[in-house]
Structure 1
């Protein structure tokens, strides 16, 4: 039987964590292990996670950023496959099932991902909504919460770069792509991303240079690979 660990990093998202956890536990094929990594929260996030015990395991640490929190979850994971969900997002009921079926049908896949959609958090008033952009429709993108990844892949290409406060997923998926690994694309909605005004990409605006750092690293890897191929 294929085992799956769900890793949910949380930093001061107590208001949304319970909904995220319910969406994980209510899956048509639920994970065999659910880990919440409390990344130095100062709100009630840890208490919310404890309320779901024993189905949910809580790991507490000093703040390291979302990449470091995911790495902590990976280190504690017992599953053959790893799924991620940010504490303010949710999965549709069959999210894990459709990704699992794709991975089980094709053992050569290193990872599989589906489509995502965005939604305004119900606690946002109209004035706040008018200030924020809400992308429309479903779109395929390699968001962490939309992917299902074989555990061994992290041993092969490395963990998330904890120095990146944002852009850590762009950096990691670029390394995955550059490794030549096969990645499956699923035509199904697998994640709903909550827009609430304090999302990481908004909160960490000063770190947007991290995106450039991740992209430069990808360009450097490709250039090195091209040089190696030319020398062979």
Structure 2
């Protein structure tokens, strides 16, 4: 595919740097891969389970994993594996940033809410490259134009992700850029937590002042 411009929808326009190319997400990721037919597991085996509220919308990470017996989750839930990218497909979770890379799964597999699309990166793309791309506000805003379903229960169809054009550099360049993004995002997260702690202290001041006033400490 041409490096000059995407042939279908994209939030980026114009020529790409040398060595980069436009690809559809479906060319470099399996979208909603099926559970392996040879997955043999006893029903009482502890298995990772990830509900929607386990994803932190700000950091884009899984903040908690539940362990449930395999027999409870093997049907009626979304299957995914270590390193897959989870993408919330339902409003408002999608716009709010409920997207993460599945890491630290028990035995490398997990199940979760059916409101996830699963993107499984191929060997030509880093999971972090996909994850950072789909978390862009511009991407999420554009995706809302393609929701289907009734108001309040609207979802993004998988074909939208499958056909979406993304810029893809060679793997060494992906690794270089991802390393920079990780470092800068970590700094942002550290600053955010510090600001939240400071805000909590500020919010507690009026109550503390009142307590001191009515206990004769002022």
TM-score (norm 2): 0.30
